[in-house]
Amino acid sequence: MDIKLSAAGRRFNQEWIFRDISYTFAGGQKYAILGPNGSGKSTLLSLILGNLSPSEGEVSYSADGIAIPEAEWYRQSSFAAPYLDLVEEFTLQETIAFHFKFKDLIPGLNLRAVLDLLGLSRSEDKALKYFSSGMKQRTKLALACCTDAPLLLLDEPTSNLDVQGVSWYQDLIAQFAAKKMVIIGSNQENEYKFCDHHLQISDYK
């Protein structure tokens, strides 16, 4: 699967966040979108994901040269970000089961394996509203990485994680993202050091 941005730009009111991005993300490759906080990384990720429409230009998905309809983009992707909401009243078990009603698990995994991967089995029956921010971030990352989709989008993936959590994230990526296209919005090298391609958002101001 490839994602092509053609002279894409996005503005809010009269302020352009970025303009004239022409770039192709190729299947299986690893990309980092870099820039300081507030530079537009999250906006660009939302554009790629299809949550936002470009103010100018276009974004397109294709597989083997055949266009993928915009309504089907969500089937091709998984996403995690610290600002992504979870259902606070759900327990951890319910959260995992709910997510995978809508997304397919990576072949060979089951719901119990996802729970074991998180290392939070003692909290499996606890509502997420009682979780720490780090536990919630781990949950979001595990759900995204264990989803059977060719595109993995991550925004500031180690936010709220301690040193042990960062190591866990790096192991998670090594285990589950090797064959995926990965696009990470980040300004911390330990989040994207495995990426071969870097896109500086400041180049498109």
pLDDT digits (tens, 9 = 90+) for 151-162: 999 999 999 999
* Torsion 108-115-147-174 (CA) sign: negative
Q: Encode pLDDT of 40-63 as tens digits.
A: 999 999 999 999 999 999 999 999
pLDDT at 70: 87
Is the per-residue pLDDT at 77 higher than 90? yes
Domains, the chain, ranges and CATH?
2-204 (3.40.50.300)
Longest dimension (CA), the chain: 50
Per residue, what are the HEC states of 113-154?
HHHHHHCCHHHCCCEHHHCCHHHHHHHHHHHHHCECCCEEEE
Token pair, residue 194, equals 């495995």
